[in-house]
Amino acid sequence: MQMNLELATMADDLSERYEELNLIFRSDDHVLEINKGREMLNRLVDSCIMFLDVAAVSLLLPGKDIEIMKINPGQEFIYPATLISFIKRELIPAIFDQRNPIVINSLSDFQSAGAYPDIFKAYRVLSVPVETGEHECAGVLSVVIPTQKRDFTNSDRNLLGNVAKKVASVILTSFDKLTGLANRALLESEIERLLQTSKELAIDHAIIDCDVDKLQIVNDICGNSAGDDLLRLIGKTIRKEVGEGGLVSRVGSDEFCILLEQTTLSQAFELARVIRSRVNSLIFEREGYTFEVNLSIGVAPITGECESASTLLSSVEVACNAAKDKGRNQIQMYVPDDSELLRRRGEMHWVSRIQKALHEDRFILYAQPICPTDGSDEHKHYEILLRLRDEEGQILSPGAFIPAAEHFNLMPAIDRWVIRNTFQLLARVWQKLPKQQHTFSLNLSGQSLTDEGFDDFLVQQIEQSTIPNDWLCFEITESAAISNLKQAKALIAKVKRLGCQISLDDFGSGLSSYSYLRDFDVDCLKIDGAFIRNIVTDNVTRTMVSAMNQIGHAMGLSTVGEWVENPEIFEQLRLIGVDFAQGYELGRPQQLIDILDCTK
């Protein structure tokens, strides 16, 4: 009877403790969304003291340089440094190896416990792993109780294990998996906190943005695992230099940010110089290759005038990009009224606008006719162009957004949108068009030539489309083709095998135009408009255009003259024998859907 009563009491106590712990977990789920990272970890450690009634709690996350030690104010514990040392030297290796909790109720429970008699004569220790994946252990959570109290039980172990799972959830939410540094979410939450102190207390802070120069070379030569090792090494080096004075985070594939509290701009700039010097001195070797390690760095102040975390990160990224363009391995300080940085910031503003426009399908397909110079009308040929309807409904020309798209590598996404939507539109109407040859030319950017998977995407779109393949022509600029010779030749071969045509755009703009021409299996040369516009008034230019035309014809290629703005230019092209002409004199760009409706 007495035993049944004791069991019932234990069951009630256990149920109550589980309910208490569940309550704190449920309330902390909301906190996790608001206060990420270290603050949440501190709250979880506090909850162990509150609900497990222990003398002390320790949370050690070695890969993230996090050590949290809390002592119960209602109990005495005078060995925090000794406990930390024991956990680091003995428990962490054992737990990382076994991935199981360790309970030490007496000196005999753990082989090396006897080396720490001060602790284990007076206290018991329970430690559990903090597991962030099936084969990944991030750290150890430990609690201590006096020996005169009860032994640790399975209930204690289970409850502490649940707290460890919550710790793991915080780690996955707030820390970068590869380097163990803070991630962008944690960085932004910390920035918002500092912005508030800047506004309320007039305290200035600073931020540093570091971009690893030419990481892709390491990945291409030695593989992504080598690149990952280099990023870990750089992250460790930066964290060592920053120390406890700032938050180091990895915010992009090759980008690190350092948040410095109560730091002047000049102090941040000096730290940036030290970090660059330390990283430059690294020796990174793989597979017989030795790589130099450089950083492009931007530095920006955090003041009460900063609007938000996103605005601040945009500013420091502008400075970092300016450092890249200065020759890489440079440092650029952000100055709000610097005209060059303002231009760059304007381009960065376009990044989110372009991405949003792609998501909302606010790009519009336009087309411009390419007309035979002999006056025949047997072949309808159009170049597909692009416009953007902005947030206010205004139609913007490519000059407003293409430079930013090129600078921030958004052209492959834009090219995919154009191809997908052009094919969909033509598929609906091509059988209703007049029974004559049509050609629709689509531009491919140099970035798309090197974009992983783009050629497979293009081939798939062509193969799945119902449009006659010989109606499709893809334009590649001469400079893009020469700069990406291998990729351009491979893509051209795939497209040509499907029966599509290839046009070499802006021909003549390069210094080596003729020497590279034989390398490309193209169908058409589009002579650079810079030559065409002066063809009436400049004899040398006219002779050069004539020579390009003759070479194209000798190779069996058709020729097109661009930028035909008046009848005189058109007449000169006709006399020279250029096959086609394109420009405002022959037709201004119109929406593709309108052109197709008129053609039917």
Per-residue pLDDT, 363: 96
Residue 6's pLDDT band, with cuts at 50, 70 and 90, is very low
From 100-109, 373-382, 555-564, the region with the lowest mean pLDDT: 100-109
pLDDT in tens, 416-468: 999 999 999 999 888 887 777 789 999 999 999 988 899 999 999 999 999 99
Contact indicator for 58, 52 with CB cutoff of 8 Å = no
Q: DSSP H helical segments within 175-263, as ranges?
A: 184-201, 215-222, 224-242
The CA distance from 501 to 432, in Å, is 22
> What token pair was written down for 509?
């703009």
> What token pair was written down for 446?
């140099």
Residue 277's pLDDT band, with cuts at 50, 70 and 90, is very high
- Length of the chain equals 600
Half-sphere exposure of 451 (CA within 13 A, CB side): 20
Q: What average pLDDT score do residues 82-96 get?
A: 83
Per-residue pLDDT, 243: 83
Q: What average pLDDT score do residues 202-224 get?
A: 88
Judged against a pLDDT cut of 50, whether residue 23 lies above it is answered with no
Q: Which residues is 561 bridged to in the sheet?
A: 527, 581
Per-residue pLDDT, 74: 82
Total Cβ atoms within 10 A of residue 59: 23
- DSSP H/E element including 58: strand 56-61
Comparing C-alpha atoms, which of 298, 327, 308, 276 is closest to residue 209? 298
Q: DSSP H helical segments within 298-338, as ranges?
A: 309-325
Judged against a pLDDT cut of 70, whether residue 13 lies above it is answered with no
Alpha carbon of residue 232 to chain centroid: 17
Residue appearing with tokens 């069951």: 11
Contact indicator for 458, 427 with CB cutoff of 8 Å = no
Q: What is the DSSP letter of 79?
A: -
The CA distance from 498 to 339, in Å, is 48
Judged against a pLDDT cut of 90, whether residue 517 lies above it is answered with no
Q: Where are the beta strands (DSSP E) in 341-458?
A: 363-369, 371-372, 379-389, 395-396, 437-444
Spell out the residues 6+ positions from residue 208 whose beta carbon is closer than 8 angstroms to its own: 257, 258, 260, 268, 271, 272, 275, 297, 298, 299, 316
Residue 597's pLDDT band, with cuts at 50, 70 and 90, is confident
> What token pair was written down for 112?
């090396």
Distances, alpha carbon 258 to alpha carbons 214, 297, 298, 311, 528, in Å = 20, 11, 10, 16, 46
Half-sphere exposure of 294 (CA within 13 A, CB side): 14
Cα end-to-end span (Å), the chain: 95
Alpha carbon of residue 186 to chain centroid: 16
Q: What average pLDDT score do residues 350-369 get?
A: 92
379-389 and 363-369 strand pairing: antiparallel
246-252 and 255-260 strand pairing: antiparallel
User: Taking the C-alpha atoms of 341, 343, 346 and 351 in order, what is their torsion angle to the nearest 10 degrees?
Assistant: -90
Contact indicator for 180, 64 with CB cutoff of 8 Å = yes
Q: What is the mean pLDDT of the chain?
A: 85
Residue appearing with tokens 């753990």: 110
The CA distance from 71 to 80, in Å, is 8
Residues above pLDDT 90, as percent of the chain? 39
C-alpha triplet 30, 31, 32: angle, nearest 5°: 90
Question: 3-state DSSP call for residue 353?
Answer: helix
Residue 338's pLDDT band, with cuts at 50, 70 and 90, is low
Backbone angles phi, psi at 322, to 5 degrees: -65, -35
Per-residue pLDDT, 198: 79
Residue 371's pLDDT band, with cuts at 50, 70 and 90, is very high
Contact indicator for 143, 195 with CB cutoff of 8 Å = no
- DSSP H/E element including 591: strand 590-591
Q: At what angle do helices 309-325 and 184-201 cross, to 10 degrees?
A: 110
Distances, alpha carbon 473 to alpha carbons 14, 388, 588, in Å = 73, 23, 20
Q: Which of 109-123, 208-222, 360-374, 401-415 has the highest mean pLDDT?
A: 360-374
Per-residue pLDDT, 67: 85
Residue appearing with tokens 């416009």: 387
Residue 279's pLDDT band, with cuts at 50, 70 and 90, is very high
Judged against a pLDDT cut of 80, whether residue 414 lies above it is answered with yes
Per-residue pLDDT, 30: 39
The CA distance from 494 to 159, in Å, is 60
Q: Which amino acid is at 172?
A: L
Q: What is the DSSP letter of 471?
A: G
Per-residue pLDDT, 418: 97
Domains for the chain: give ranges and CATH numbers.
17-174 (3.30.450.40), 184-336 (3.30.70.270), 352-599 (3.20.20.450)
The CA distance from 387 to 391, in Å, is 13
User: Taking the C-alpha atoms of 540, 546, 552 and 553 in order, what is their torsion angle to the nearest 10 degrees?
Assistant: -160
Per-residue pLDDT, 511: 47
From 5-14, 258-267, 273-282, 496-505, the region with the lowest mean pLDDT: 5-14
Residue 323's pLDDT band, with cuts at 50, 70 and 90, is confident
The CA distance from 420 to 183, in Å, is 34
More confidently predicted of 118 and 312: 312
From 167-176, 531-540, 581-590, the region with the lowest mean pLDDT: 167-176
> What token pair was written down for 535?
């063809």
Q: Which amino acid is at 451?
A: D
Contact indicator for 280, 292 with CB cutoff of 8 Å = yes
Judged against a pLDDT cut of 90, whether residue 220 lies above it is answered with no
Q: At what angle do helices 485-497 and 454-464 cross, to 10 degrees?
A: 10
Distances, alpha carbon 386 to alpha carbons 56, 310, 368, 556, 563, in Å = 65, 29, 10, 30, 17
Judged against a pLDDT cut of 70, whether residue 297 lies above it is answered with yes
More confidently predicted of 278 and 201: 278
The CA distance from 226 to 48, in Å, is 40
Q: Which amino acid is at 183?
A: N
Q: What average pLDDT score do residues 346-350 get?
A: 69
Contact indicator for 491, 470 with CB cutoff of 8 Å = no
Backbone angles phi, psi at 408, to 5 degrees: -110, 20
Per-residue pLDDT, 3: 45
Residue 33's pLDDT band, with cuts at 50, 70 and 90, is very low
Q: Which residues is 301 bridged to in the sheet?
A: 206
> What token pair was written down for 204?
């200035």
Judged against a pLDDT cut of 60, whether residue 4 lies above it is answered with no
Per-residue pLDDT, 351: 81
Per-residue pLDDT, 598: 67
pLDDT in tens, 151-199: 888 888 888 888 899 888 888 888 888 888 889 988 988 888 888 887 7
More confidently predicted of 512 and 325: 325
Q: What is the DSSP letter of 393?
A: S
Per-residue pLDDT, 576: 96
More confidently predicted of 358 and 145: 358
